Amino acid sequence: MRTRQATNMLLGLLLLPPFEPLLASMRCDRGILSTDETVESVEEKCGAPDERTLELPGIDEYGVLLPEAVRVERWTYGPDNGSYWHLRFIDGRLVDARSRRY
């Protein structure tokens, strides 16, 4: 009987959708953001950020991109009722959105 319960539990876990990291639900005038959205899509939904920083990919002394180098953008919206939204993009795709109260 225990073997059957364990088998059923394992089967149930295998049938679950793949795990995706949770993204805080940032709502904008034109929609809700989700992971993997492009920079253009986020700007279309939320407008230009109040602050934007860009970290260019690393290059070596010959001007060649380093292996696995990525472009990172950080956007900030706010303050909105004392809260700021911090968004992080890697190679033009949204990977993280966090709200913080100051």
User: For position 96, which CATH number holds?
Assistant: 3.30.1450
- What is the residue range of 97's domain? 20-101
- Tell me, what's the pLDDT at 50? 97
- Tell me, what's the pLDDT at 72? 94
Which of 14-18, 39-43, 57-61 has the weakest average pLDDT? 14-18
Establish if 2 belongs to a structural domain.
Answer: no
Establish if 72 belongs to a structural domain.
Answer: yes
The string of DSSP letters for the chain reads -HHHHHHHHHHHHHTSPPP-------EETTEE--TT-BHHHHHHHH-S-SEEEEEPPPB-TTSPBPTT---EEEEEEEEETTEEEEEEEETTEEEEEEEEE-
Task: Please state the pTM of the whole predicted model.
Answer: 0.70
- Tell me, what's the pLDDT at 90? 94
- Tell me, what's the pLDDT at 5? 57
How many structural domains comprise the chain?
Answer: 1
d(CA 48, CA 36): 18
